[in-house]
Chains A and B, each alone.
Chain A
């Protein structure tokens, strides 16, 4: 069965610090997809990024970057120069490409990030 673990329950940083959110996953499928979602205090879930299992290139989008390493089954998320508006719960999720698992998202427990001014 697929599983996503976000070991950090809560992280607190001061504005402008860099912060990395860890995500470790388990799956038996060779083809799968990894996602990060953000849930701000207002409660909605906002899609941030999708990565497929064949693409291990790191990705950078503004202050956000993602490090995908199949060898360690990890898909970590770094926010550079954090801002108060980054305060949210961040979820890592996994979806398998097999017929049984297609489209189904398994979420980690989430990491609560608080950025202090």
Chain B
């Protein structure tokens, strides 16, 4: 079975440019999460969706960040305008509600973003 698919794997762009990260969750999963990983702050939850609806975006650092989930098989995380401090690895993860409580999240391979 296909896992969570993220694209691109690497992105290098100049400060001020718009960056769009993409994620395809595992089919049938109804939760989708976006995380950011940096050396200084570790793994941080940015936003998550349930059934395509944003549930909690309290981790989104500022208005330059936005996320959408137009359908059950696709989500985007956009940064506009990008800044050097946005450089990080961005992970997308998905999980099913299932029974018996919180199911494990399955992560994509991540997008390594470098803003020059």
Among the stretches A12-20, A39-47, A70-78, the one at the interface with B is A39-47
A94 (CB) vs chain B CBs: closest residue: B102
State whether B105 touches A47 (Cβ < 8 A).
Answer: yes
A residues 2-45 near B (Cβ < 8 Å) are: 31, 33, 35, 37, 43-45
State whether B104 touches A104 (Cβ < 8 A).
Answer: no
Cα distance A48–B69 when bound, in Å? 28
Which of A37, A45, A47, A95 neighbours the largest number of chain B CB atoms within 10 Å of its CB? A45
Rounded to whole Å, the gap between the CB of B109 and the closest CB of chain A is 5
| Set of chain B residues within 8 Å of A46, measured between Cβ atoms | 107
Tally of A interface residues using CB under 8 Å: 23
Cα distance A95–B97 when bound, in Å? 13
State whether B104 touches A103 (Cβ < 8 A).
Answer: no
Among the stretches B18-26, B41-49, B60-68, B72-80, the one at the interface with A is B41-49
Rounded to whole Å, the gap between the CB of A33 and the closest CB of chain B is 4
State whether A97 touches B89 (Cβ < 8 A).
Answer: no
- Given A43-B110, A45-B91, A45-B107, A110 and B102 touching (CB < 8 A)? no
Rounded to whole Å, the gap between the CB of B112 and the closest CB of chain A is 8
Among the listed B48, B93, B102, B105, which residue makes an inter-chain contact with A97, where contact means beta carbons less than 8 Å apart?
B102
Additional 19 contacts, C-beta under 8 A, given A47-B105, A91-B43, A103-B55: A33-B101, A33-B102, A35-B104, A37-B107, A43-B109, A44-B108, A44-B109, A45-B91, A45-B93, A46-B107, A47-B104, A95-B102, A97-B101, A103-B31, A103-B102, A104-B45, A107-B43, A108-B42, A109-B42
Task: Give residues in A with beta carbon < 8 Å to B.
Answer: 31, 33, 35, 37, 43-47, 50, 52, 91, 95, 97, 102-110
